[in-house]
Amino acid sequence: MSKIETPLHERLINAFLRTARAVHLYADNNQAVVKACAELKQILDRSTEEGEPISLQISSGHIYINGEYLRIGAQASASAERLEEYLTGRKINGIVWEPEARDIPADKFVPFFRILAHAKEHDDPLTWIRQRLDEKSLSWIRVESHRDIEASLPGIKTDEGEAHGSLSSHQAESGSDSKAMLWEKGRQNYGRALFILKSIADKIKEGKPAGVAKAMRQIQQIVDMIISDDQVMIGLSTLRDHDDYTYVHSMNVAILAITLGHYIGIPKQALATLGLCGLFHDLGKIKVPLEILNKPGKLDSGEWKIMQRHSLESVLEILKLKASPELKARLLLPPFEHHLKYDLSGYPKFHRRKQVSLFGRILAIVDVYDAITSPRVYRQTSLSPDAALGMMLEKAGTDFDPLLLKAFANLMGVYPVGTLVKMDSGEIGLVARRPRSQYLDRPQVRILMSNGNGKFVPGKTVDLAEKNGHAGSFRRTVVESFHPGQLGIQPAAYLD
């Protein structure tokens, strides 16, 4: 029987503890110290990509490495508890090895652990550690307090008990200022994740190593926002960009996949993995020539074969990413499957009768939804969101998992966010939020007003469930829906 290799993160925790113990017990040149430092250095170098910091953080009994939440097995739980006790006993919640730590010889780790060994002797160990690090010019490593890691680990509670990354119910229900802040935070998260995705793609094109630590941290921020208020991120997923279609499409797929996953009850930690699968599902299109990707007409048989390879190419590119083997193993299958249909037709073609994975079936739904609601060079018109759902529902059971598709339709509503509607009042508007009442075809709509120059400015938000009097008729009713692109409208720019 082959020996099962200990996961990298468990080896890192054990190596850190062995080094701390060795430095505490022995002189700098003792072989136990030399060996422990060398092992820790080797593991650290394997834990993240070149040019990126390496973070080891603890919060509420959970351990994160490079922003990735670790599922600690029973055998490793004792080591995790010792690590938490060691760090929190020194008022430390995080340690970050800066990129230049890769250039530091292993024996240079000893002064840092000497500082840690003596820190508990002081009234304010965290401040004392930082002072000693400055004095010894150990700029390649830093320590973090609980507050320091709030910005990088969403959902962490402060000492006052307020959760970072989400608004309290009082804040969420307060006026437009809180809503504006939430939308601004959502736009920042979207923009940062898009930039990270492009950076990863650029590194791949240049043949350079690319890691996923930053992408994971950003996806975790987006997961937290969706759990807090999914309507903000759904609204941002209406963004369309002709020039950056592949990247924007991948961002939208990630958001919609996380949202659907949350809607059906997938645990928070797994939602981040699902989001990364969405973010990387079209990574293989890097290998598809631009003249094929942007061809205005129909692809010929040879071009279509090249295009169909992008699912497999995505897997090959994910395999090259600098990430733990455990994380990469979770990322491979869904991108490979996202063009396989529920009845196992589609592509890649291969002989198998096993059902597509849950994450693969989710990606298949949200990938098609975003694609057919996006304008493309080879398609004159795009479907409005409600028409897209209608067309997809006709293919439930063949192209799409019928239960998941029904859940997605219920999530998005009769008129999904971003749908352009005309009302019997003569007004036009964008669906801004799901219905707040039992009337599923009566969402909340942002009225759009012409500025007289062929453009529109956002007006008030109205609830289509509003009536004329207590038992009167509805004040507004949708009479027609359109794709916002018909009027040159980017929904995300009008929704806040």
Q: Once rounded to an integer, what is the mean pLDDT over residues 404-426?
A: 93
Q: Which pLDDT belongs to residue 408?
A: 96
Calculate what percentage of the chain has a pLDDT beyond 90.
50
Q: Which pLDDT belongs to residue 3?
A: 47
Cβ atoms of 270 and 330 within 8 Å: the answer is: no
Residue with tokens 């990364």: 276
Q: Which pLDDT belongs to residue 259?
A: 96
Alpha helices in 48-124 (DSSP H): 77-88, 110-119
Cβ atoms of 32 and 129 within 8 Å: the answer is: no
Q: Which pLDDT belongs to residue 393?
A: 96
- The single-letter code of the amino acid at 261 is G
- For 8-12, 76-80, 254-258, which range has the lowest pLDDT when averaged over its residues? 76-80
Per residue in 288-307, pLDDT (tens digit) is: 998 998 888 889 999 999 99
**Domain segments of the chain as ranges:** 8-144, 178-411, 420-493
Q: Once rounded to an integer, what is the mean pLDDT over residues 110-139?
A: 91
Q: Kindly report the CA angle at 345 between 343 and 399, in degrees rounded to 5?
A: 55
Residue 33 has pLDDT above 60, yes or no: yes
Q: Which pLDDT belongs to residue 155?
A: 44
Residue 337 has pLDDT above 90, yes or no: yes
Per residue in 186-217, pLDDT (tens digit) is: 888 898 899 899 999 999 999 988 888 889 98
Cβ atoms of 193 and 251 within 8 Å: the answer is: yes
Calculate what percentage of the chain has a pLDDT beyond 70.
88
Strand partners, 474: 467
Residue 177 has pLDDT above 70, yes or no: no
Two tokens, residue 118 = 């003596």
Residue 69 has pLDDT above 80, yes or no: no
Residue with tokens 């083997």: 325
Q: Which pLDDT belongs to residue 362?
A: 97
- The single-letter code of the amino acid at 23 is V
Residue 225 has pLDDT above 80, yes or no: yes
Q: Which pLDDT belongs to residue 302?
A: 94
Q: Which pLDDT belongs to residue 72?
A: 63
> Which SS3 state, helix, strand or coil, does residue 27 take?
coil
Q: Which pLDDT belongs to residue 164?
A: 38
Per residue in 433-469, pLDDT (tens digit) is: 988 878 889 999 999 998 888 788 889 999 999 988 7
pLDDT band at 73 (very low <50, low <70, confident <90, very high): low
Residue 82, H or E segment? helix 77-88
Task: Name the nearest CA neighbour of 446 among 256, 235, 185.
Answer: 235
Residue 181, H or E segment? helix 176-205
pLDDT band at 61 (very low <50, low <70, confident <90, very high): low
Per residue in 259-290, pLDDT (tens digit) is: 999 999 999 889 999 999 999 999 999 999 98
Q: How confident is the prediction for the chain on average, in pLDDT?
A: 85
Per residue in 340-389, pLDDT (tens digit) is: 999 999 999 877 678 899 999 999 999 999 999 987 655 556 788 999 99
Residue with tokens 């020539």: 289
Neighbours of 304 (CB within 10 A): 12
Two tokens, residue 224 = 């937290």
Rounded-to-integer distance, Cα 106 and Cα 37, Å: 5
Residue 34, H or E segment? helix 31-47
Record the pTM: 0.68
User: Half-sphere exposure (CA, 13 Å, Cβ side) for 135?
Assistant: 9
Domain 178-411, classified CATH 1.10.3210.10, yes or no: yes
- Phi and psi at residue 313, in whole multiples of 5°? -65, -35
Q: Is 346 left (phi over 0), alpha (psi -120 to 50) or beta?
A: left
User: With 0-12 CB in 10 A as exposed, 13-18 as middle and 19+ as buried, what is 124?
Assistant: exposed
Q: Which pLDDT belongs to residue 256?
A: 97
Rounded-to-integer distance, Cα 56 and Cα 79, Å: 14
Quick one: how far is CA 448 from the chain centroid?
A: 31
